[in-house]
Amino acid sequence: MTSEPAVPLTEPRDGLPDVVADERALRSAVTSVAGGHGPVAIDAERASGYRYGQRAYLVQLRRAKAGTFLFDPLGVPDLSTLGTVVGDAEWVLHAAHQDLPCLADIGMRPATLFDTELAARLLGLPRVGLAPLVESVLGFHLEKGHSAVDWSTRPLPPDWLRYAALDVELLLELRDALERDLRDAGKLEWAHEEFAAIVAAPPPPPRSDPWRRTSGVHRVRDRRGLAMVRELWYARDALARKRNLSPGRVLPDTAIVEAAIAQPASLEELTAISVFRGRAQRREATRWFAAITRARALSEDDLPSQTARYDGPPPARTWSSREPEAAARLASVRAVVAEIAEAHTLPVENLLAPDVLRRVTWDPPDQITEAAVAAAFRARGAREWQIRLTAGPVADALATA
């Protein structure tokens, strides 16, 4: 880690590249990338908060002997040829779980990767964002002022493109420095297991009852109101998808919740609610009231339950009253896992996923042995390095709690 004052990183070392936005430019870029060597640094910019979904609106790539490239997925929506030429190379990403889904949508999937954020977590570094890491590890100050802009904007301003290019400018150097630190700390094999798990992970299944994630839904106390939240959520989602807008820009969560609490009986009552008085909401008021009307017409049997379906244990905060013995086991194993994490300078959640720990503690093996606990952890997705560190101590804690 460097202790010298950070040097501002303001320009890509090879200059700002042109954006690859048509098939001819794509073919040329693919040839150049194929002529490079070694790992490839990759990043993607989305338009979260502006557009529907999580599609990529810009893809940045840098490779030794090839340079930096900026790809516009609106102009070249299929980047599978690019994905093919770098398919066998190691991909270097920061917070890979954020970018891999949108990259897969345009034909790019890695065979191996190095996640600089996860590497920093395994090293126990206090700040794991890209800019703090570039500064603390490499000694350069990386400006992050355009991280939340609307990347669907066209044309993209030069200062935005410069910002995007700089995101991959030092990613390969950061990877090399973190790899050295992981090796010195005896954690490199742990990192390789983690990276392989990310690559092998299947796409997450669709969320069950996604409307239950509406901010403030806990304020809706009755099932009829929850039905209104559900109908309004799906009506909003359909319109947001059609208009390619972030759902929150079509109808804020606060409006959904306020309508579900008020349960207006007429269009006039709906538009009298303060969050529905704006021009945009009044324009679509008939649509929103139709959703409320559908919820009002549902039979009692068709109303949603007060709580979401969940196949796991109840919330840990309720264990002490519902299952005191399970609560005692959880307190004991949490203390053991926290002690192991501290000894290895790891965040507890990176040593063992909290959900894995809760599930095994709530429903422990019939015979509590190290092998049985290891098998239970493995069945729930724990990596071998995590199992080696935790299975024995957790088995002991479960046996004596």
Q: How far apart are CA 252 and CA 244, in angstroms?
A: 16
Residue 46 pLDDT class (50, 70, 90 cuts): very high
Q: How far apart are CA 305 and CA 140, in angstroms?
A: 52
Beta bridge partners of 58: 45
Residue 308 pLDDT class (50, 70, 90 cuts): confident
Q: What confidence score (pLDDT) does residue 272 get?
A: 96
Task: Give the number of other CB atoms < 10 A from CB of residue 322.
Answer: 11
Domains and CATH numbers, the chain: 7-200 (3.30.420.10), 210-302 (1.10.150.80), 316-400 (1.10.150.80)
Q: What confidence score (pLDDT) does residue 100 get?
A: 97
The mean pLDDT value for 191-212 works out to: 94
Q: Are strands 37-46 and 56-64 parallel, antiparallel or unpaired?
A: antiparallel
Q: How far apart are CA 201 and CA 96, in angstroms?
A: 12
The mean pLDDT value for 231-257 works out to: 97
Kindly report, residue by residue over 262-291, the tens digit of the pLDDT: 999 999 999 999 999 988 899 999 999 999
User: Does position 4 have pLDDT exceeding 80, yes or no?
Assistant: no
Q: What confidence score (pLDDT) does residue 3 get?
A: 65
Task: Give the number of other CB atoms < 10 A from CB of residue 341.
Answer: 19
Round the average pLDDT of the chain to a whole number and report it: 96
DSSP characters over 52-107: SS--EEEEEEEEETTEEEEE-TTT----HHHHHHTTTSEEEESSHHHHHHHHHHTT
Q: Which of 116, 114, 117 is nearest to 199 (CA)?
A: 114
Kindly report, residue by residue over 120-155, the tens digit of the pLDDT: 999 999 999 999 999 999 999 998 778 789 999 999
Kindly report, residue by residue over 6-28, the tens digit of the pLDDT: 999 999 999 999 999 999 999 99
| In contact, 93 and 115? CB cutoff 8 Å | yes
The mean pLDDT value for 329-345 works out to: 97
Kindly report, residue by residue over 240-250, the tens digit of the pLDDT: 999 999 999 99
User: Does position 2 have pLDDT exceeding 70, yes or no?
Assistant: no
Q: Any idea which of 211-220, 242-251, 302-311 has the lowest mean pLDDT?
A: 302-311
Q: What confidence score (pLDDT) does residue 78 get?
A: 98
| In contact, 77 and 110? CB cutoff 8 Å | no
63 DSSP assignment: E
Q: What confidence score (pLDDT) does residue 204 get?
A: 85
The mean pLDDT value for 191-209 works out to: 94
Q: Is the dihedral of CA 295, 300, 302, 308 positive or negative?
A: positive
Q: Which residues touch 184 (CB under 8 Å, ≥6 apart)? A: none
Kindly report, residue by residue over 146-187, the tens digit of the pLDDT: 878 999 999 999 999 999 999 999 999 999 999 999 999 999
Burial of 204 (0-12, 13-18, 19+ CB in 10 A): exposed
Kindly report, residue by residue over 374-389, the tens digit of the pLDDT: 999 999 999 999 999 9
DSSP characters over 285-308: HHHHHHHHHHHHHS-GGGSPPSS-
Q: Which of 288, 292, 315, 302 is nearest to 223 (CA)?
A: 302
User: Does position 340 have pLDDT exceeding 80, yes or no?
Assistant: yes
Residue 45 pLDDT class (50, 70, 90 cuts): very high
Cα dihedral value 372, 376, 382, 383, nearest 10:
30
Q: What confidence score (pLDDT) does residue 264 get?
A: 98
Residue 5 pLDDT class (50, 70, 90 cuts): confident
